[in-house]
Amino acid sequence: MQKILISGCLIGQKVRYHGKDALCQHGILDKWQQEGRLVAVCPEVSAGLPVPRPSSEIVGSGGGQAVLAGKARVITHNGIDRTEAFILGANKALQVATEHHIKIAILKSNSPSCGNNTIYDGTYTGKTIAGTGTTAALLSQNGLTVFNENQLHEAETFLFKLENDTSC
Q: What is the pLDDT of residues 47-67, one digit of tens each?
A: 999 999 999 999 999 999 999
Nearest to 92 by CA among 48, 32, 124, 141: 48
Dihedral over alpha carbons 16, 87, 97, 129 (to 10 degrees): 60
Burial category of 38 from C-beta neighbours within 10 Å (exposed 0-12, middle 13-18, buried 19 and up): middle
Confidence band, pLDDT 50/70/90 cuts, at residue 166? low
Q: Can you tell me the distance from the alpha carbon of 140 to that of 89, in angstroms, rounded to the nearest whole number? A: 15
Rounded to two decimals, the pTM is 0.95
Q: Identify the pLDDT of residue 167.
A: 62
Confidence band, pLDDT 50/70/90 cuts, at residue 37? very high
Phi, psi of 29 (to 5 degrees): -65, -40
